[in-house]
Amino acid sequence: MTAKAAVTPWGLTRVSELSKMVELPYTSVEIDPATQTARYRDVEGALVEPIEAGKHGSATNTSPRTGTSRDGSGNPAPDSDTGHDGDRD
């Protein structure tokens, strides 16, 4: 019987070392019941400023009409299906 060589799974060839740890200025997060926003607290329980996550984009969606004409001329299409296009920042 022939011994098979060990094969490293492909996914493990894509693994890299973790980035350096970053110490965050807070130790706990809670939800403010009045505003439904997060409150960040440090080790002593004092409120700290939240970390800025940067600017967030917006998403746009369209539902363009799709279809084909019988002669390929682009005249009104007998097929009135719609597609869905979307993008997100």
Taking only the tens place, the pLDDT of each residue in 53-70 is: 666 666 666 666 555 556
pLDDT in tens, 18-57: 888 878 888 899 999 999 988 999 999 999 987 666 666 6
Residue 26 half-sphere exposure toward CB, CA atoms < 13 A: 13
**Residues paired with residue 4 on neighbouring β-strands, in sequence order:** none
Q: What is the DSSP letter of 40?
A: E
Examine the pLDDT at 16 and tell me if it is beyond 80.
yes
Q: Check residue 36 and give left, alpha or beta (phi > 0: left; psi -120 to 50: alpha).
A: left
> Of 33, 29, 51, 52, which Cα lies nearest the Cα of 41?
29
At residue 36, the pLDDT reads: 92
Residue type, 28: S
**pTM score:** 0.37
Counting residues of the chain whose pLDDT is more than 70, the rounded percentage is 55
